[in-house]
Amino acid sequence: MLLTMNLRLKLPAWLMERSRRWAHLRTAPARQLINFLLALFLLFSVVGFYHDLIAGGTAPFVIVLANAALSGAIALAWVLTTMRLPVWCLIFALALQLSSNSIFRLLAEWINRTFHPKQVPSGSGIHFAATSIAIAVFSSYYLFARYMRYTGSESLRFRTELELANTVQKTLVPPLVLQTPSFEIYGVSHPSEKVGGDLVDALELSCGDTVSYVADIAGHGLFSGILMGMLKTAVRTALRDRDCGDGAATLSQLMQRINFVLPEVKEPQMYATLTALRLNINGEAFIGMAASPPVLHWQAAQKRFVRIEEEQFPLGLLPVSSFTAHGVEMHDDDLLVIATDGIIEVCSPSGIEFGIAALESLLNTNAAAPLATLATSIFAATRAYGQQEDDQTLLLVRRNVLI
């Protein structure tokens, strides 16, 4: 009996170690869940048969079956508690585990009093236990195979849907290459997963001016990607009929509009950061920022970088009454560099962030390069520096040399 208890005591640690991996079973269809639970029950029922083997195989068959059933039931108790009940309920599963020997003894005494089973010859008992182990193992294998086949088909369906979402992502966030009378615009986004929450976009207003922006939805993955698509729709709807009014007011009202719309379509903890530019056909530029990283302004004449920062709340998180925007004085060959935190916060193996300063240093020697070449060098530098953990998006805007 001591050996039986020792073997069973290994079960909770094994199950608890992997409990997080079974989270999908909480919402699994009944048919799939039954296959899994029956397979687990049969697999751990082997403990009861094994105990009879090492005891010489003399216990009555009904006692052996009761011990096997108790071993399987204890395994199910741990799994069901881990899957369906709060963590504190593990106390009851642990109590059942620790009292398993006493439960078995009481069960065996009741069976003996009620049915008066006789001891069996050692050879017959060993043959019965060994055959039962083989049947239990092969049956559990069959049920696990059915469970895995169903899980595999579900996984394939999920991968197919994820590939479709990735195609939608590429449609929503294609590389941005745009030339206006006064500005050259280049933007690109690399999601950390198949679907990301970063967005780079540009659209022409009815008056001929251009609004270009980078938005970063908190987090990454499928839900962030869905919210990103909603945000793009909201921005384009808000700017669709925008006239040639004040450039700063356009961006301020855009941020207010997004801040009003987002809470209705997102989880409470989610939000978006935004850096938006209005680039007028006469060369004027305006910028609005909502909780985004600093924008780097390369001043070509002075050959230096100036950081543009604005302390404002992110969009969709709080009912902020107003957002501000302002003009940016840009001259020939000046450059604006907008990078999301997925680039700036890339960490080295030792945990040190790439940072704004490293980005400035990289750009200092490449500021005059074509925008596509400049973007490629930035992504190459971050990949060499550390592993990508978040969506990475760049928007580069250069003022044309006006003749």
CA angle 266, 272, 273 (to 5 degrees): 175
Report the distance separating Cα 306 and Cα 392, nearest Å.
22
Q: What is the pLDDT of residues 198-215, one digit of tens each?
A: 899 999 998 889 999 999
Kindly state whether residues 115 and 18 are assigned to the same domain.
yes
What's the confidence (pLDDT) of residue 209? 93
User: Do 157 and 189 share a structural domain?
Assistant: no
- In degrees and rounded to multiples of 5, residue 324 shows phi and psi of -105, 155
Res 328: pLDDT: 97
Q: What is the pLDDT of residue 292?
A: 93
* Number of domains the chain is built from: 2
Low-confidence ranges of the chain (pLDDT < 70): 1-28, 84, 86-87, 152-172, 194-195, 220-222, 241-243, 402-403
| Structure confidence at residue 210 (pLDDT) | 95
**Run of H or E including 158:** helix 122-172
For 397, the enclosing helix (H) or strand (E) is strand 392-399
Please tell me the predicted confidence (pLDDT) of residue 159.
64
170 assigned to some structural domain: no
Residue by residue, DSSP assigns 15-73 as HHHTGGGGGGGGG--HHHHHHHHHHHHHHHHHHHHHHHHHTTS-S-HHHHHHHHHHHHH
Domain check: are 321 and 264 in the same one? yes
SS3 category, 206: coil
What pLDDT does residue 335 have? Answer: 97
371, 233: one domain: yes
Is residue 227 located within the same domain as residue 95?
no
What integer pLDDT is reported at residue 7 of this predicted model? 38
Q: What angle do CA 303, 306, 307 make, to 5 degrees?
A: 150
Answer with the one of 110, 130, 165 that is the final residue of a domain.
165
Rounded Cα distance, 71 and 193, in Å: 42
Domain that holds residue 26: 2-165
